[in-house]
Structure formats: C-alpha cells, structure tokens
Structure 1
Amino acid sequence: MEKQSPLNKHKRRSKYALPLGGVFLILAVIGLVSVAGFCIRLTNRIMDNTQEKSKFEDYLLPVVMFDPVEFDSPEHADPLFLLQSSLWGTLLSNTDKYTYDESAMLVVPASDLDVYAAKLYGSNVKLQHQTIEDFDVTYPYDPETKTYGVPVMGQTSQYTPQVTKIEKKGDLYTLTVGYIPPGTLWEAAVGGSKYEPEPDKYMIYQLKKVKDGYNILSIKGLDTWEAEQQSGTEQVPEITTQDAAALSRFPAV
C-alpha cells in the first residue's frame, strides 16, 4: 500500500482548513453583531424610559389636575384636595361601571373613593366625605346612600402632568413633574404644532413602591426640594405601622 508523504497530508488538511476557518470567522462576526445589537437595544430601553414616564403621568393625573399645595405627608394635605383627587381618580379608571340617576348625574359610591384614596396615598388616609364644590360645579354627597352625584359637565383640569425625570433608590421614587396648562395643549392641537409644551412650573413627587402600585409620600416645590438638598434637611417620609413592624424583625446594629 502506497504511503502518503507528509507534504500531501499537509496539503489535504490545508484544503479543508481554509473554508472551515472561514465558516467559524463568519459565525464569530454574526455572534459579535448579535451581541452588539442586543447591547444597543438594552441600552436604549434603559435610557429611554418614556413608557415608565407615561405610566406615572396617568397615575398622577387626578392629583396634578387640582394643583395641590405642597405637603410632606398625605395626612397633612388639604382634606378637600384628597377628596377631589380620589373622586377623579375613581372616575378616570371606572367610568363605565356607574349608572345615572333621574337627575342625569353619575352615581358613585363613597367606598370607591376610599379604595382609590388608599391607592394614591396609602391606607392611613381617611377621607372626610362631604359635598364638593369646584368653581361652578357641585358634586353632592348623600350621607344616607353614601354616594356622590357627578354632573355630566364634569371638571376642567387646571394642569396635566409631564414627568421629566425619574430617580429610584430602593422602593422610593423621586419624580420631577412639569405642570402643563390646558391652553398650551389646545393651542398646539389647533395650530398643528409638534413642539413640546413648556410646563408652567415643576414639582417634586416622592412615591413608594407598594404591592399593587405606588403611594404618594410627599409633594414639594422645586425650590423647597433644592433648598432641602443643599442644607441636608430633607424630611424623611413618616414610617407607617406596617413599615415599623417589618423593621422590627431585623436585629439592631
């Protein structure tokens, strides 16, 4: 049997090594491109938090629309504002489930407002149910049936929220919220303009992530917030009974 020379064996290996090496090179390039594409998409998702901002804007709409005075705890907020925002939060999320009475008013149970108040501000907030008067609109409260009557004309929003910045530390969120006046949005729509409306002012909202969403801890003016940050006198949100119970399970350091 004729033996192959080492030179012939080397030529045969070289013959198959070239295309095989090319295949591996192509696969390596494809893998590199795929990894690079994944990294770019991941970076874009991290940097572009438009969807998260939109979610917070929907959540804050019934609050911002009443332009509340700043507070460091919901328990210290204006009771009428808490009632108004809870009513409109309820309406914006559940309008279809309510019926009209003989006066053509939407009938809304007060208990639904209590549920939404807990969704916005936590279970420690207790609403003071009463007839609400907003400008020329009245929302009568019936203590016997424990329901509110909502007229068809409804409420004109003073502002809509525009979340411009989100900062997260654990389960605490700090949002910079711009207040967009309704006239700006209307003028842009009528004129066909595509410019971003400028907020009248900015407020700082502190939220806490909870099981079913978020709770508002405080609302502060931008000047107040910046002054607290510079002086180091930022007020820590009050710890609830549930938080205290959770902390008590950890040993003292």
Structure 2
Amino acid sequence: MAGIDPQRERTRLARRIGVVFGQRTTLWWDLPLRDSYGLVRRMYRVPRDRFRENLERCVELLDLAELLDVPVRQLSLGQRMRGDIAAALLHDPEVLYLDEPTIGLDVISKAKVRGFLRDLNAERGTTVLLTTHDLTDIEQLCRRVMVIDHGRLMYDGDLAGLHEAGASERQLVVDLEREQPPISVEGARTVRVEGPRQWLAFPAGASAAPLVARVAEAYPLVDLSVREPDIEDVIARMYAGDAEGEAVGVTG
C-alpha cells in the first residue's frame, strides 16, 4: 500500500494513510475539535505551518469554523463525521479510507461530505477508498466500483460497466397525442401504459437517439424523457442472479 509493506512497516504506512469510521470517532470525546486536532498534529509530527494550512482548508471546505471550540460529545453525527474527515487529512495522507462516511447523515451533511471528497481527489490527487451501503455515494463519487458478496468479488470496473454486468435497462417515457396500443419498435419493449403515456425499456448501454427517432417517425409524439436505471436495482439484480448461480462479470 502506497509502496509500503503493511506487515513490515506499519508505523511508516500509518503516516501515509488516513482512516475514518462511520460508527466510531477517532476524536477525543470530551475535548473541543481544536484540541483534538492539536493532538493529531503532535501524533503525526506535522510541521506547524503545514498543519495550519491543512486545518484552514478543511475548516473552510467542511464548514467547521463554528464547531472548533465545541466538545466532540456535543456534536451531531453529521458534524462529527466532518470533524473526523478533517482529522484524517491533517497529515496529508496519500490514501484515505472511509467506512460508511455518510451513514446516518442528513441530506445537507451528505452533500457537504461528498463535495469535499470530490474536490480532495481532483485537487490533491488523494486516493479515496470507501465502503458504503448508500449507493448514491457510489454514483456521485466513484470512478471504480467493486461489488463484494460474502467476501467474494462479484464485480470490479467502472460504473457504466456495472450497469452492463447487472443487465440494467434505461426507460424512455413517451407522451403521445392520444391513447395508443403498446408501442412496438426495434430495440425496446413497452413495460407500462397509462393513457397516452408509455414506458419503453431498452439496454442501459444503448444510445437513446436511434430509439427516439424510430418512435418519433411512427407515433404522434407530444413529449418524452429518458430515465436512468436505479443503481440499487442493478446491484440487487446482480445479487439475485448470483444466488441463482448466474455468472457475474469481473473486469480488470
């Protein structure tokens, strides 16, 4: 990890990585955030100037200014999570491990954490490895996805490939001028009809443009939209297929 053998050089490796646990804080429970960060600086022997620069950046981007003098035990879960992430980054780790970083957070706190992690990766090149059951984390943060079931790797690749491995489908929602029998066009199947509105399913990896052209040529269109597949459904389908003994793709 980071060019270091974890078994032989654990202390050296610890200085190169940061870790955040969603259900367990690494901060000192009865101390204000500011004092906890001071202890982190001493533990990792971070130079004062570098520590000050990193702290100011984390405080600004994670909106921690009003929390620095608040004891950790008085912080909400979302505030504590942001505080933990800042603590894990004060020594400039090359790799950041996050275990359920958005678990139990409200919508606003989740958005702040995700935005910060995107900026961290883009601006500093920090590798972020996260485990999560919140699949929106995956959609908004991850370029590479690994799906694991009972310790077995089911998928390893990008998000687009995940949809293909899960045989997911997009939907073309079509509003017609009047009620029609189910639309019949090449490359799609009608899965739902409600009055003049119809839903057509087609493979997630296929372009919608040819399908739209075929529908527009043959039917009186009023409006249409494309709905992307729900990643939860994709992964649920993968698990269900695996339970039935179907092969699931693993890419390099």
Q: Larger Rg: 1 or 2? A: 1
**TM-score scaled by length of structure 2:** 0.22
**TM-score scaled by length of structure 1:** 0.22
Larger fraction in helix: 1
